Amino acid sequence: MTFHTQLRIPGPTPLPERVVRSMNRPMIDHRGPEFAAILAEITAGAKRVFKTKNDLLLLTSSGTGGLESAVANLVSPGDQVVAALCGNFGERFAALAAAYGADVVRLEFEWGQPVDPDDLAQVLQRHPKANVVLLTHNETSTGLTNPLRELARTARSAERLVVVDGVSSISSIDIETDAWGVDVAVSGSQKGWMAPPGFALVSVSERAWAQQAKARSPRFYFDWKEAKTWADKGMTPFTPAVPVAFAMQEGLRMLEEEGLNNVYERHERLARAAQVGLQALGFQLFAQEGYRSNTVTSAVPPPGLDVAALRNLLNTKYGVVIAGGQGKMTDNRLGAGRPGSDAVASTVAKILVADPLAEDGLERLRRAGEVTVVSKLGESELIRRIPEFDALVVRSETRVTAPVIEAGTKLRVVGRAGVGVDNIDVSAATRKGILVVNAPRGNIIAAAEHTIALLFSLARWVPQADASVKRGEWSRAKFIGTEIRGKTLGVIGLGNVGSEVAKRAHGLEMDVIAYDPVVAVERAELFNVALVSLHELLERADFVTLHVPLVDSNRNLLGAAELALMKPTARLVNT
């Protein structure tokens, strides 16, 4: 099992790191100005994606909730409704209408075959009282995209309301809501919008509002009029999914940064790759050629292949999760989804390890992706190599500079196998949305023990005595050194490593003082350490040890003036 599951189902889809981080903020007042600004930004951005000037409502629900809102606001009990069906989600749309008492006229096609506009025209001609037409743009269950432009034109020519399930298409497949004459279009946050489940997006035309005013179905939570009244005030009528709003705000920014045409082209390119790959493995593509979806590929396995066993193998051995069939295709079909940003990533991450790592650490990385180990890379060579990698792992030797980060066009994360990140340009990484992580507790014990070893070495002149003996000398008197017991240790930086050093120094019966401007007195007391000024520490300490990150505020922390404050016999350890 990999450490990062590759979720390749139609939805919910993988969340980009930027989106995940956007949700990591405090809760806000959903009746306050901050949420109003977020709601306004999402609404305006979603309208650009829908390509509509109509009202756009944000409902806290799944995509199915958005579809139910369309039925509840447009259909009265006993109304005739035409539902065009070619898969499981078309069936669901029809079932919703029937649940509200509609007389559903079913225009059915074989699963995997698109809805024919000419057949729709004939049905509408035979049922002049059917005022609402329910269409599914992208039929997820069969991996098929219907010819929405032609179907909408047919329904509008017959003066019917066009209601579209665009849950798995809008933001991943092009739609022109106004230009194509779509009265109501519904999408869901958990698909191409790159957010968790929780919001339905519903665009409503003037014709749809006129119908809504006449419809008599009971409605409360999904009342569009109520939703619009509150939206005009920068709010929602009921408590919204605030973290999902954070995510949608960031996801929309990412969509528009990439450019919608680029987003659509990317999905189309990846769809072709998935289709060719599955066919090469002996699978038969389920949807009719020419109508195959760019967001989900549906395929029938070769004879004798157990779909459930294959899905289990992909999940447990490779960490790749793909969908099974739905409805009547549950047991003999699989589906691979691609909506959203993570679709651009390859199934297996490519990881560059640029500094030596222990073999057990490399083995863990190999379970998560394809690992390349190349040490002692200069900046120019690292810039040349980095474009093909998704992740970069370094220790302290390799410097990850702004030019390196800029060259990492596929780079998603930089990992420092150690405590500090001073050899990584964190600001440059942040600007590109690249996550920087470290191992703040990974080697703190080793570092603390190493500090104590150096302290003993200094106290007893170990390096000098070793060199003297190797020269054939025996000068014991020169290397007697000094006892550590009873001496004062000054710790500059009482963080993870510094506090561990303090613990060990107490075990050696040393007095410990510390300087750290960001550590509270209460924390220092936990380690039986007195906090003092840097000036006092340098004057009092017999031994001084530094454990601070190399950031601008700490550069030149100890210069000639500071060293002059120390006792002539004091010893300094800089790890």
Domains of the chain with bracketed CATH: 17-258 (3.40.640.10), 260-343 (3.90.1150.10), 348-438 (3.40.50.720), 444-574 (3.40.50.720)
378 contact partners, CB below 8 Å, separation of at least 6: none
Q: Burial letters for 35-61: b for 16+ Cβ neighbours within 10 Å, e otherwise? A: bbebbeebbebbbebbbbebbbbbbbb
Whole-number Å distance between alpha carbons of 75 and 127: 16
DSSP per position, 280-341: HTT-EE-SPTT-B-SSEEEEEPPTT--HHHHHHHHHHHH-EEEEE--GGGTTS-EEEE--SS
Whole-number Å distance between alpha carbons of 433 and 524: 36
Whole-number Å distance between alpha carbons of 422 and 518: 18
Question: What is the rounded end-to-end Cα distance, in angstroms, of the chain?
Answer: 38
Whole-number Å distance between alpha carbons of 373 and 350: 11
In 79-238, which ranges are E strands? Answer: 80-85, 103-108, 132-136, 138-139, 144-145, 161-165, 184-188, 199-204
DSSP per position, 152-170: HHHHHHTT-EEEEE-TTTB
Distance of CA 286 to the CA centre of its chain: 31
pLDDT at 90: 96
Amino acid letter, residue 84: A
Provide the Cα torsion 146, 147, 152, 155; round to 10°. -80
Would you say 322 and 7 are in contact if contact means Cβ atoms under 8 Å apart?
Answer: no
Residue 53 CA: distances (Å) to CA of 45, 57, 228, 528: 11, 12, 15, 66
Whole-number Å distance between alpha carbons of 267 and 271: 6
Provide the Cα torsion 78, 84, 89, 94; round to 10°. 10
The helix/strand count (H/E) of the chain reads as 21, 24
pLDDT at 476: 81
What string of pLDDT tens digits covers the 575 residues of the chain?
334 678 888 889 889 989 999 999 999 999 999 999 999 999 999 999 999 999 999 999 999 999 999 999 999 999 999 999 999 999 999 999 999 999 999 999 999 999 999 999 999 999 999 999 999 999 999 999 999 999 999 999 999 999 999 999 999 999 999 999 999 999 999 999 999 999 999 999 999 999 999 999 999 999 999 999 999 999 999 999 999 999 999 999 999 999 999 999 989 988 887 888 888 788 999 999 999 999 999 999 888 888 889 889 888 877 888 888 766 655 555 666 656 554 444 445 789 999 999 898 888 888 767 899 999 999 999 999 999 999 999 998 999 999 999 999 989 899 998 877 889 999 999 888 888 888 766 678 888 999 999 999 999 999 999 999 999 998 888 888 899 999 999 999 998 899 999 999 999 999 999 999 888 888 888 889 999 999 999 999 999 999 987 777 788 889 999 999 999 999 999 98
